[in-house]
Chains A and B, each alone.
Chain A
Amino acid sequence: MADSRQPRLSDEQVDRLVGLLGAPPSDLPLDSAARLVEELLPLVRRERARDRRGIGRRWQLFTPARGGRPSALPRMGARRLAILAVAAALAVAGSWLAGAGGHLAPPPSATATPSGSSLVSPTAGATLASLAPFGYPGGGTIEYTSHDSSGGDVLWLVDPSGANRSVFLRGGCCGLFSPDGTQLAVAAPGVTPVGTTRDPSLLGIAVFDRASGRLAHVVPTGCGSCAILSLNYEPDAWSPDGRYIALDMWSDSDPGAAGMGLADRDFPPFAWDWAQGRVTGAHPDIPIAFSPDSTMLLFLRAERTDGPTSSGPLFVLRVSDLSVRQVSPPGVTVETNGLVQGPASWSPDGATIVFAGDDGTAHRTSIFSTSASVGEPVRTLVADAPGATSARFAPDGKLIAFDAEAAGSPFHDLFVVAPDGSRQTDLSSSFDPGVCCGEWSPDGRALVVAGTTSDDSHNNLFIIAADGSGIWQVTNDSNVYSGFLWGPSLR
């Protein structure tokens, strides 16, 4: 029997003894291991089947990563942009003719204009049978970005019925309608203000007149902040008063150069120059949406980037003084991945913010609601919304749309819920494709979604009526769809 007078162990000795358990046990239960792998294989098969459908988890926009490893660069930096048929530099005379009301002078030396002649019928070249009828009767225009066979961006316009599908700009992406619907801002390589020289591979912003298809101006129109022209930038949000375009900017070689900018239409002496180079400092901030009164901007402060997907807390910026405050509670992050336009939105009266957030502490994704006023608590609107990627207020404020895994299914459905959390309705429960990332029509009667029955590289666009009355197909061109919006028809 051991001496009963044992030494009092020091803390270090306790830790050392416990640490000895780190040596692997000499007798591994191999029978248990063999049983476990047989239990796991059905799960592997099921996950493989889910992956082929592309749904059931966070929507990942497929982009080839550089060097075979996931890129740590922001979403656009990780995309392999083909500088194909975009023509050389879009040298623009960015003259803004001041005057009563002002008007835009067409650029005298634009070398690239969108192609309006590539009309493609909904059924031409179809590779998949349609999953829903074409012919949605509502109005407006849908813009979306897909990819050609070499992976290059192509920006399209199409009627909600599926008719009049046309290429708007090869090499262009990430279209953003102006508030009045008369213009379309796009990101494209080779965009540069007159009198400046940029690396032609860098993305810039070109604003086109929709009626004529001609280039109206670029952003910025002049070189007031030349250093910024060494970065890529794309338009992410346009203020309702038409004055500001919020941009996401980044460098392909310097992650520290990422940031968010506000291009100001009224900024002297160059229209659409940056109000600030990086309004929030050297943070990889991603704009989401302006408030209805154009005084505030929701944005994501990316803390983690995995290929095209960025996640981090949700913030709001006050445009007048560029002050910021965090909206999402501690531990809750939002996400954007290039397909999703934004995980958050404003109510039409500007009083409420809703967002799809991942609560790392609770290990679940929920739909949250908070007042736009400082100091108000964050409410959980929908506690359990697995995989939710977006929360979009309807134009009339009566419903909030979000996509999430349906109960008992790994596939995403489109849901709507009232602002008080009641009347949650699954709008696509009987629709075979998994759907994602609904964007409201201007009249608030329906949403356009990306849907697939296979995987993320085989999406098409569909329209789902907000009252559950029907589902229509818009495109029959299975592809990777990176961003889509429903804008007004041209008057």
Chain B
Amino acid sequence: MTDSRGAVLDNEVRLALLDEQLFRSWYERTWPKVYGYVASRAAGDVALAEEITQQTYVAAIAAGATFDGRSDSATWLCAIARNKLVDHFRRLDREERRGRRVVVRELQLDGASSPATWSAPEDRQLIELALRSLPPLQRVVLTLVALDELSVPEVARVIGKSVAATQSLLARGRDGFRRAWTREVADG
């Protein structure tokens, strides 16, 4: 099949951009994966997840001709989404650095005990709350390591920081999550 320029079409993205019905079909197939990817990293912030998902598709439409078909298009979309998420958290970080009021909760560092005593340790909402309590860059670094399984150097490249700075953000993010998680679980 060729497009209006006669170019041989070799991937579904270019096909989707040719026809509205094809686009709808492609969108319906990819949206659950993309939204699922974004929502899991938005830590329960539905508004953020919807916004990032929208930005992802807008960027994909604009860049559709660059998709080379070597990966599944949903994977490609998620890569765009990841960049949008990073951009979002970097923007938040810059805003916080400009002195916007940030509520810092006093967290209690509790002592150790057996995992068997945890209540609902895998409660999604608790995890999301703990993650959302982190400063933006710590949150995005921890997310990229734990969810996207990127190495620290890879994360450093994505967020535009040095490896050392990224390692520091990861360590502080884990520590912050640790404190927040413990508090959330303790609060029941």
Contacts and interface: CB of A to CB of B under 8 A. Distances in A.
B186 A14 contact: no
Interface in A18-77: 18-25, 28-29, 32-33, 36-37, 39-41, 43-45, 47-48, 51-52, 54, 57, 60, 62, 64-65, 68-70
Contacts of B130: 17
B5 A29 contact: no
A384 B55 CA distance: 22
A6 interface: yes
B43 A21 contact: yes
From DSSP, what is the main secondary structure of chain B's interface residues?
Answer: helix
B127 A2 contact: no
B127 A21 contact: yes
A51 B18 CA distance: 10
Nearest to A456: B5
A18 to B, nearest CB: 4
A25 B61 CA distance: 25
B50 A23 contact: no
A33 B29 CA distance: 11
B58 A6 contact: no
A7 interface: yes
A491 interface: no
Contacts of B99: none
Given A21-B43, A21-B147, A57-B65, A7 B114 contact: yes
B61 A40 contact: yes
A457 B5 contact: yes
Given A8-B112, A47-B17, A18 B117 contact: no
A127 interface: no
A24 B146 contact: no
B102 interface: no
Contact of A6 (B7, B118, B143, B146): B118
A44 B118 contact: no
B106 interface: no
Contacts of A62: 5-7
Contacts of B3: 51
A43 to B, nearest CB: 5
A18 B127 contact: yes
25 contacts: A1-B188, A2-B118, A2-B119, A3-B113, A5-B110, A5-B117, A7-B114, A8-B110, A17-B130, A19-B147, A21-B147, A24-B33, A25-B40, A29-B46, A39-B54, A40-B23, A40-B54, A43-B61, A47-B62, A47-B64, A48-B18, A62-B7, A69-B69, A306-B66, A306-B68
